[in-house]
Amino acid sequence: MTPKFTVYVLDPYHPDAIKLLQSDPNIKTILPTDPAQTCWHAHADGIILRSETVLSAKDFSQAKKLKVVVKQGVGVDNIDLDAARKHGVAVHNTPALNSESVAELCMALTLALSRRICEIDRAIRKGQRVVRSQVLGVSMFRKTVGVIGMGNIGKVVAQKWLGAFECRILGFDPVAPKDAWNDVKHDRVWCLDELLKQSDLVTLHVPLLESTRGMIGEEQFKDMKMTAILVNCARGGVVDEAALLHALKEGQIWGAVLDAMETEPPTLESYGDLLALENVIMTPHVGASTVENQCRSGTVVIDTLLKVLNEETAPGKVC
């Protein structure tokens, strides 16, 4: 049987997802390692990708046959959606699938910072003597957690802090419906500064939009407690990184953990000043990077792609 569609895999995917794609006789699969990758503009009916690849307006204008792009994960800021609409290309993502793994990382990073685990580990590896009275951590038990962004990931994060540490949850989201999280014990606040002033932990779960770019900046750090921790496992650009560096150096907040930065992956060249601080932990956007999640979300991407190519209703439609 001659394949009906040619699909280009532009970024690495879990082997189970690739196996599922290759098992369909109607699909010709071009993998990232195939030299034919450079010709996708001329031949691709469908594309699957992750955050590594950027699709620009020029890419869409050159794509001769492209019908659908499916992005693993929620964020689609690496895809020019206006250009996709202009050229009649459907764009889908995989909402809600990353919630558990991202929430796990948020909690893991927060606890690693609050209990100074990385700092102590580095000292031991250097052969330094660690005096316990001089490396006191901060307990999260019954603290106030401010969740900015009341979507799927934010909800799972809230549930974890509630269940594990009996925390008080504050939720802020100017666009979420009034009945959002009606099954989660929380207090809804309608002003960001109100959340910032009360929270011991501020955790971000918003997309990168013009309305959210730099939403945590100089003025917001002034509102936060000196004992507060900032967590960004959402998107780079939501936090003003120059203002964050200043806030940390001046002791305006207790510390920060970042899994999302404006420059990814983080390097010493780009983030040497932040990485020199003991009260900062950075990871290279690995919130969704568990074996289980990559397998599950990868197979959902393939299922979505095949449905769209076969003109069936598919989940996660962005445009």
> In the structure encoding, which two tokens stand for residue 162, read together?
């509630």
Distance CA(231)–CA(241), nearest Å, equals 13
Which candidate in 116, 168, 235, 296 is catalytic? Answer: 235
Is residue 10 classed as helix, strand or coil in its secondary structure?
Answer: coil
Q: What angle do CA 110, 112, 118 make, to 5 degrees?
A: 140
Give yes or no: 285 in active site.
yes
Instruction: Please say if 205 is a catalytic residue.
Output: no
* Catalytic hit among 14, 116, 285, 296: 285
**Cα–Cα separations (whole angstroms), residue 143 to 55, 109, 110, 166, 201:** 42, 16, 13, 8, 8
Q: How far apart (Å, rounded) are the C-alpha atoms in residues 172 and 81?
A: 27
Q: Is the peptide bond before 265 cis (omega within 30 degrees of 0)?
A: yes
| Candidates 104, 194, 262, 264; catalytic one | 264
Q: Which is nearest to 192 in space by CA: 211, 216, 208?
A: 216
Q: What are phi and psi of 9, to 5 degrees?
A: -95, 105
Residue 235: active-site member = yes
User: Among residues 140, 205, 139, 196, which one has the least CA distance to residue 167?
Assistant: 140
- Is the CA virtual torsion 175, 179, 183, 187 positive or negative? positive
Q: Can you tell me the distance from the alpha carbon of 96 to that of 126, in angstroms, rounded to the nearest whole number?
A: 41
Q: CB of 271 within 8 A of CB of 282?
A: yes
Spatial separation of the C-alpha atoms in residues 149 and 23, rounded to whole Å = 39
Sheet strands side by side (includes 168-172): 187-188, 168-172, 144-148, 201-204, 229-232, 255-258, 280-282
The CA distance from 155 to 203, in Å, is 11
Q: How many residues does the chain have?
A: 319
CA 28/CA 34 separation, integer angstroms: 12
Q: Which residues are catalytic?
A: 235, 264, 285
